Chain A
Amino acid sequence: MRKDRDSWIDMAPDAIIGYSTLVLAIVCFLLALVVIVAIVRFIVGVGAA
């Protein structure tokens, strides 16, 4: 039990860095999708005109 608790505490810094990186990557991906949607909307709008 003590060893298990230590290992979770030991992993905390790596976990924080890992999840921060992952969440940042997700946010960047979402922003990229926002840009893609804007481009598609523009193309469809131009096409319709």
Chain B
Amino acid sequence: MWQRLSLYDLRVIGHYLGVLILFTTIGLAVPLLTSIIFGEWQATERYFLTIGIFLIAGSALRFLRIQPGRLSRQQAFAITGLSWLVLAFFAALPLYWSGHYASYLDSLFEAVSGLTTTGASVVQDLDHLSYSDNMWRFMMHLMGGLGLVVVGLSFGLFGKGGGASLFTSEGRSEHVVPNVVQTTQFIGRICITFIAISTISVGCISMTIGIEPARAFLQSFWVSISAFMTAGFVPMSQNIMYYHSISIEFILVIVMLLGSINFTLHAEVIRGRVKAVFEDTEVRYLIAWIVLIVIVLAASLSGSRLFSNLPNIERRGLFMVFAALTTTGFQNVTTSQLAAGGFSSGAFLVLAILMAMGASSGSTAGGIKINRIAILSKSIVATLKETLAPDTARIVTSYNHIGRRPVTPDIVREATTVLILYGVTYVIGALAGIASGFEASQAIFESVAMASNGGITSGIVAPGMAWPLELFYLFEMWAGRLEFVTLLALLIQIVTSVMPSDLVGTMHARNEERKRRS
């Protein structure tokens, strides 16, 4: 039943959290270098100090000596679950010291939003944030989008044991190649390649619209990370509207879509087997879903106050559809236009539904994921067929994902469980927003944006927001990134471990007795 964490388990967890903290120091070298190149000496001091704190904390935890060997499943869940929060605590420090955040909680929120690739920001005066602080925000997107544990696995930080448990506990559903380390390295190479291509494309266009070269390539690097990682931070307060460029928006839509495709399909494309993408059940459902939602959105926007003309629906409407669908969170409309009547209420709700559903599994996108919807749809159809078919008939349901695969009861159960957990979280988050005094539609939208890691904000997430709601949204982002199961497993482990042993023993004995009687 519920296993308690032993002292040795805690040493292992502490040891590997220390390893991850030390490893993250490499990521901090990038903003440090940026501050030196651009002469941001105050930022240089802050990042030196932060690196020092990371090194001290990581080294101290690594002093927890452990036996070499495989990580148990419980240890893997705990490491994965805690790493996001522990790293965010430290990652928030340079942001807080920048003076652009109202409180440490705001900077922690920003760090969690960055690492979980939500992209909702509470920064003050973003337009004057230093290059190094912006670089750190986007480095968090890169590390979080790849997966903190995944990055660690690809560099062999966790030794030879526990790779598979760690991989799946971070919400990764599939291995691109049989070896976990090679899978993580493959994902890393794909991400870096597309970010590089996008950086060059967007950078060149940025220069043609008048941005000076250094800023053009820095900003294009940042938005490319944000687009492929389907994350959502932007370097300017006007979001993507800052560039006033249809070309940039077009390229970003393509990059967002590429980032929201399952990485196993990327592996097929690299081998020249593009057909596998179009035969994939999830991709087909995604295409149908997009067509349906675009029709609904276009019809709804046609009656809106500000965006009823065709060019606006084409440009603003379609861009927002893909920003929400891929759970990136870019905006080419302002927050007040979105929430305060510019967009019709129907279109506003459509964006929330898009974020809630998300895009493909095994990609950088968040949300429930379309493959779960596809599996549940097929399960419903199979149930109806079984009801109508003769008793002797055997109904077999399958889906296509690099070959035909059966829809088994375990797959349906997993999909149903995650769907329910997402739904419950969306509702509880909405209730929290309503209790804080916000309009119901806004509260629902914001809750969905947090739990799905979508990040499009309707105005509730802002600097100086109420701390109980901010904490709750922080928890939602964390839970959504780990797809709930890991986080719930961690919470159960913690509760079980701190409960008195005789109480746990009594519960365990009762369960054993019940099993014996049945």
Contact = CB atoms under 8 A, between A and B. Distances in A.
Nearest to B318: A33
Contact of B270 (A15, A23, A30, A45): A15
B269 A15 contact: yes
B270 A33 contact: no
A29 B318 CA distance: 12
B298 A37 contact: yes
B38 to A, nearest CB: 34
Nearest to A17: B272
A31 to B, nearest CB: 11
B271 A18 contact: yes
For the complex of A and B, the 9 pairs showing the least CB-CB separation, nearest first, are A14-B272, A18-B269, A40-B298, A44-B302, A15-B270, A37-B298, A21-B274, A18-B272, A18-B274
A24 to B, nearest CB: 10
A1 interface: no
Interface stretch (B109-117, B287-295, B506-514): B287-295
Interface of A: 11, 14-15, 17-19, 21-23, 25-27, 29-30, 33-34, 36-38, 40-41, 44-45, 48
B291 A33 contact: yes
A14 B298 contact: no
Given A34-B318, A37-B298, 11 more contacts: A18-B269, A22-B269, A23-B258, A26-B254, A30-B318, A37-B294, A37-B314, A37-B317, A38-B310, A40-B299, A41-B310
Contacts of A45: 302
B303 interface: yes
Nearest to A8: B189
Contacts of A37: 294, 298, 310, 313-314, 317-318
B166 interface: no
B314 A34 contact: yes
A14 B266 CA distance: 12
A49 to B, nearest CB: 12
Given A14-B271, A17-B272, A41-B310, A36 B253 contact: no
Nearest to A42: B310
Contacts of B287: 29
B257 interface: yes
B291 A36 contact: yes
B254 A40 contact: no
B332 to A, nearest CB: 15
A15 B254 CA distance: 17
Interface string B292-328: 0011001100110000001001100110000000000
Interface in B229-257: 250, 253-254, 257
Contacts of A21: 274
B298 to A, nearest CB: 4
B128 interface: no
B284 to A, nearest CB: 12
A30 B226 CA distance: 21
Contacts of B299: 40, 44
B385 interface: no
A44 B318 contact: no
B273 A40 contact: no
B13 interface: no
Contacts of B272: 14-15, 17-18
Contact of B273 (A18, A26, A34): A18
A25 B269 CA distance: 13
Interface in B123-152: none
A33 B287 CA distance: 11
B356 interface: no
Contact of A40 (B250, B268, B302): B302
B277 interface: yes
Contacts of A26: 254, 257-258
A22 B274 contact: yes
A21 B273 CA distance: 10
Contact of B277 (A15, A17, A22, A30): A22
Nearest to B194: A19
Given A15-B269, A18-B270, A27-B254, A36 B313 contact: no
Contacts of B274: 18, 21-22, 25
Q: Which of A17, A19, A48 is packed against the most chain B CB atoms within 10 Å?
A: A19
Given A34-B318, A36-B291, A41 B302 contact: yes
A11 B270 contact: yes
Contacts of A23: 254, 258
